[in-house]
Amino acid sequence: MGQITAKLKKRLKDFNQKKIISVSQILDGKRIAKEASQTISSFEALMGKGYDPVHAMYVNTQNLLSFFAEQISAFTELKSFCTRAAKAEDIYLPSGPPLSPLTNSYYSLWLLCDLVFGPDRETIIDCFLGVGPGMNVTEMHLKAAFSLKESRMGIYEHMGTDKKTITLKELLTEKTYRCICPSGYEGRKGELWYVRLVPDPLHTVDYFIIFTTPYVIYGHAIKEWEAYFARNDIDATQVGYKSRLDKLMKYGPSIHYWHEYVFLSYSKHSSDVIYLTGIPDCKATLPHAEHYA
C-alpha cells in the first residue's frame, strides 16, 4: 500500500472513530447516497438499457470510481493528482471529436487507472482498492476495479469476427482475445486497433470488453510498429519484453505521451470509431505534428 492510500485509510478511520464524519458519508451516507444515485447508473438500470452484463458491471464501477475520486479530491493527499488532472484537462479538453480526439471513455480510464501521483506512483484505483473494503464497497466492484487497475491500452490486429465477437491479436505478444465492442463498430480483418481490453472479473464468460471507443490506426504496416517497439527496447525475442511493453503502453515515456500521439495522429471519425495515422516517434508521419509543434 502506498503512502497516500495509507494516509487516506487512516484519515477515514480517524473520521469514523472520532465521529467527525462517518466513513459511510464518503460513499453511502444520506446526502452522498442521494447525490450518487443521480450520478451513477445502477447495474440493473444499465442492464435494462440493453448493456452486456460485463460491460454494465464495468460502466457502473467506472462511475463509482469517478464519484469516489470527486469525493476525495478535496483531501490534501490528493493535491498532486488534482494538479496533474487539471493540467491534462486544460490542454486536451477531453470530450471526443470534433472538439478533441480524446474520448471521454479513453480519458476517464487514463485518469483513474494510469495517472500516477505521489512518491509511490499511486493511482485513484490504488486508493479505492486500499480503502474500499472498509467502506461497504461490494466484492463485485472491488474485483472490477482490480481488473481496471491491471488494464492498459494496447495495439491489436483485427483477426476477424464471429457472430457477436471480434478477435484481436496484440502486436508482439501475439496473444488473441475474443471481444465485444460496445461502440458497435465491428471493423475489418487486418485493421490495427488502439484500445483497452478488460476481462470478466467474475469469470462467468470468456470474452473481453473493448472498454474504449476504438481508435483504428491505418497507413502503416505491422513491421513499422515492430520497428517502433524495437526503438523503445521492446523486442519479442528478448527476456522481459512483456513488462517493458506493459510500461510503455500504460504510462508512456512521459505523462502525456499517448495523449499527444492521439492528437497528432487524428485523421477522421464517425460515431463508433476514430481513425489515426502515424507512428508516435516519426514526426513526418503525424498529420498534425507541425500544427501543434
What is the distance, to the nearest Å, from the Cα of residue 105 to the centroid of all Cα atoms in its chain?
7
Q: Is the pLDDT of residue 20 over 80?
A: no
pLDDT in tens, 130-154: 998 877 788 999 999 999 999 999 9
pLDDT at 34: 47
pLDDT at 17: 61
Residue pair 292/240 in contact (Cβ under 8 Å)? The answer is no
The mean of the pLDDT values for the chain is 90
pLDDT at 108: 96
pTM of the model: 0.91
DSSP-derived secondary structure for 206-234: S-EEE-SPPEEEESS-HHHHHHHHHHTT-
Cis, bond preceding 98 (omega within 30 deg of 0): yes
Cell of 196: 483497452
Residue pair 107/211 in contact (Cβ under 8 Å)? The answer is no
pLDDT at 290: 74
pLDDT in tens, 178-232: 999 999 999 999 999 999 999 999 999 999 999 999 999 999 999 999 999 999 9
pLDDT at 286: 97
pLDDT band at 45 (very low <50, low <70, confident <90, very high): confident
Q: How far apart are CA 147 and CA 54, in angstroms?
A: 12
Q: Hey, what long-range contacts does 61-66 have (CB within 8 A, 24 or more apart)?
A: 61/140, 61/141, 61/144, 61/145, 61/148, 62/108, 62/109, 62/112, 62/148, 63/39, 64/36, 64/40, 64/137, 64/141, 65/112, 65/124, 65/125, 65/128, 65/145, 65/148, 66/108, 66/112
Residue 38 CB partners (closer than 8 Å, separation 6+): none
Q: Is the pLDDT of residue 94 over 50?
A: yes
Length of the chain equals 293
